[in-house]
Amino acid sequence: MKSKIYFMLSMIIFGAIGVFAKYIDMPSSTIALCLCFIGALVLFFIFVWTKQKISWTAIKKNAAALVIASIALIGNWIFLFQAFKVTTIANAALSYYFAPVLVILLSPLLLKEKLSLRKAVCIGIALMGLFFILQNGKLETTGLHLLGICYGLTAAFFYAALTLVNKFIRDLDGLANTLLQLGLSVMILFPIVLFTDGINFFAFSSSTILLMLVLGFVHGGIGFYLFFAGMKGLNGQSIAILSYIDPLTSLIISTLVIGERMTVQQLIGAVLLLGSIWISEAGGEKKKRRGLRTL
């Protein structure tokens, strides 16, 4: 239960990230770098304050997985932030939420988790929902919304990779795992940003810097810790069902706070995509509970 609560809270925090990312006047790679750097600092102070230690043996054993996960983390944030910049929060969130479908598809191959007929049917429904969302993007006159959806789908691929790779990391608790991945992400991303977009914080407004600090502390620090700490106690398909909280939070903020409009096609796509994953995972959880009662 503790793992589920942690993961649900992280999804609520991540669901609100679009509001910040959309209005931060920085390149997506710079936002990702700042997010990882501030988040790593916050978690480092937590790590020192709680007097925890990292096993170097565990780091060496998980070195390859940690590097791959860090690369997936970088790709995830860069493409998601870019999606928020060129399309609506709803479009970006819904296309990004295709990640749980990828997790369910790949779990039987990588995690040896069974793919039931129910889940296969629900994946088909989710694909239909994605089709409606893509059709909505094609109807936009500027074409940028379709591009934003493509960015969101690319971010979804990296999110799925991040989720699955983390299931192979052993003997590292949530805080240590998060700190290492954020630290590695900064080391990998810093030279890329330096030699492409460059880093000149004096060129940014005070409001942009303030939004970035909030984003880094809340989403990078607290959000990442809750995400990895919760994920370690859940299987791949349980992560999929709880992840629906992320896009639902984004949709609520998009319509009620930002005032973005959703078309009928988009609503149909959202219901099909989110509903299919909910039915798929809810059915699986019910079967598990019935199985436990028969023991």
d(CA 159, CA 230): 15
Q: Please give the pLDDT value at position 248.
A: 77
pLDDT number for residue 52 = 83
Q: What's the pLDDT score for residue 144? A: 64
Residue 294, in any domain of the structure: no
Residue 96 lies in a domain: yes
pLDDT of the chain, 295 residues: tens digit per residue: 788 888 889 888 988 888 888 888 888 999 999 999 998 998 898 888 888 888 888 899 999 999 999 999 999 999 999 999 888 888 888 888 777 778 777 777 777 777 667 777 777 777 777 777 666 544 444 456 788 888 999 999 998 899 889 888 888 877 888 889 999 999 999 999 988 877 776 777 888 888 888 888 888 888 877 877 787 777 766 776 677 777 778 878 877 777 777 777 777 877 877 777 667 655 555 454 444 343 3
* 117 within a domain of the structure (yes/no): yes
Residue 7: phi and psi, rounded to 5, are: -70, -40
The verdict on residue 272 lying in a domain is yes
pLDDT of amino acid 154: 94
Sign, CA dihedral 204-208-214-220, equals: negative
Whole-angstrom distance, CA of residue 193 vs CA of residue 203: 15
Residue 215 — φ and ψ, nearest 5°? -60, -45
In a domain, 75, yes or no: yes
- Burial label, 57 (beta-carbon count in 10 A; 0-12, 13-18, 19+): exposed
Tokens found for residue 223: 């959000």
Q: Which residue in 240, 170, 177, 186 sits closest to 43, CA to CA?
A: 177
Which amino acid appears at position 78 of this protein?
I
E strands, 53-110, in order: none
Task: Find the domain containing 248 and state its range.
Answer: 2-289
pTM of the model: 0.80
Residue 295: inside a domain: no
CA atoms within 13 A on the CB side of 213: 8
129 located within any domain: yes
Residue 280, number of CB atoms within 10 A of its CB: 24
pLDDT given at position 289: 46
- Can you say how many angstroms the Cα of residue 33 is from the centroid of all Cα atoms in its chain? 16
Helix/strand/coil for 52: coil
Round to whole Å and give the CA distance between 96 and 90.
10
26 occurs within a structural domain: yes
- Total count of domains within the chain: 1
User: Measuring CA to CA, which residue among 101, 78, 79 is closest to residue 147?
Assistant: 79
Residues across the chain? 295
So what's the pLDDT on residue 66? Answer: 94
Please choose, from the candidates 74, 26, 85, 83, the residue with its C-alpha nearest in 3D space to the C-alpha of residue 192: 74
- What is residue 263's predicted lDDT score, i.e. its pLDDT? 72
DSSP for 185-247? HHHHHHHHHHHTT---GGGS-HHHHHHHHHIIIIIIIIIHHHHHHHHTTS-HHHHHHHTTHHH
